[in-house]
Chain A
Amino acid sequence: MSKVTKRFIFFFSIGILLIAVIVTYNIWNQHHEDIQNAEARSMTAVQLYKSLSEGSEEIKSILINQVINVSGEINQVIKNQKGQQVILLKTGTSGGSVNCTMEEEVMNIKEGDVVILKGVCIGYISGDPEIDLPGDVFLIRCYRSS
């Protein structure tokens, strides 16, 4: 094998290795999905709650892990223990909410206001029927939608 061929193989291998490192680095450090600009399915808080608390497994699989535009009347605005704003939307089930953890705080909102929130639906957790505590549907990474 000539010196030129050896050099070519050497630099070619280094090049391939560099590309592999860059690709791996980019995959490992890719950003989270841009929720604000993502395509979303639109539905009301009442529809979403009913679909996930009573719907079939097929309906649940369509909605879970998807970006949803959920509209509804605010039941309560609270802060979680990390200081994030959490907006609870009415669902027609007393004590059961669409529980939206906000990415950015929404100012000037109050109980009774009707809002549209956009976030990732992670599913429904049933509460405890023994103590009459209904479950919630949870959305994370939420923003106010226009």
Chain B
Amino acid sequence: MFKSVFLLFVLVAAFNNNTHGQIFYTKNGSISFFSKTIVEDIDAKNNQVISVINFQTGTIQFSLLNNGFRFPKAKMEEDFKANYMETDKYPRSTFKGVISDISNVNFSKDDAYKVNVKGSLSIHGVTKEIEVPGVIIVKNGTISAQTEFNVLVEDYKISVPSIVSNKIARSIQIIVNCHYEKK
């Protein structure tokens, strides 16, 4: 009887320690974007990204405040907030989606696992379905997620005045890099 109870206890403990079926989150994830033109390269970073991954369901979500992006130049930052992203009107950007091949990730083995993420990206009041490749990195029991993809400025109804159109790329590279902790 004692052996059975002990075995049950060990099985429950092992299940709880298995990261599969667990929730991971960060409140200081990093998302940056990069615009490259002949005239100027623009690189902005936001290190206040809230992200949650549920490894049982494969759901993943990101949320950030658009006015948290930091630019090397004050004028760039001011224009980004007031003219392009209209942060007073559209304060947040979000992504909600599903990691389609989460079962390929072995959480007990350190490695970089290629995955596909599909979901809704909302920027500037416009929501679009996107599908992007990503990488889940398992290392010493910690989880990181990385992806890079491009969005078209016009897809999200961000208007760029013609006077500065040569300084801002039509296609913006988005770089996501989040380190998670267990909930």
Contacts and interface: CB of A to CB of B under 8 A. Distances in A.
Contacts of B19: none
Interface residues of A, number: 32
A92 B75 CA distance: 37
A58 interface: no
B54 A31 contact: no
Nearest to A101: B47
Interface in A24-40: 27-33
A130 B179 CA distance: 21
B50 A27 contact: no
A21 interface: no
B91 interface: yes
Chief secondary structure at chain B's binding surface: strand
A65 B65 CA distance: 11
Interface residues of B, number: 31
Contacts, number: 78
Nearest to B178: A81
Interface of B: 23, 25, 27-30, 45, 47-48, 50, 52, 54, 61, 63-65, 67-68, 70, 73-75, 77, 81, 88, 91-92, 177-179, 183
A133 interface: yes
A62 interface: no
Given A123-B65, A126-B63, A128-B25, 8 more contacts: A33-B74, A80-B28, A80-B47, A84-B47, A101-B28, A136-B50, A138-B68, A140-B48
Nearest to A86: B28
Contacts of A29: 73, 75
Interface of A: 27-33, 61, 64-65, 78, 80-82, 84, 86, 97, 99, 101, 122-123, 125-128, 131, 133, 135-136, 138, 140-141
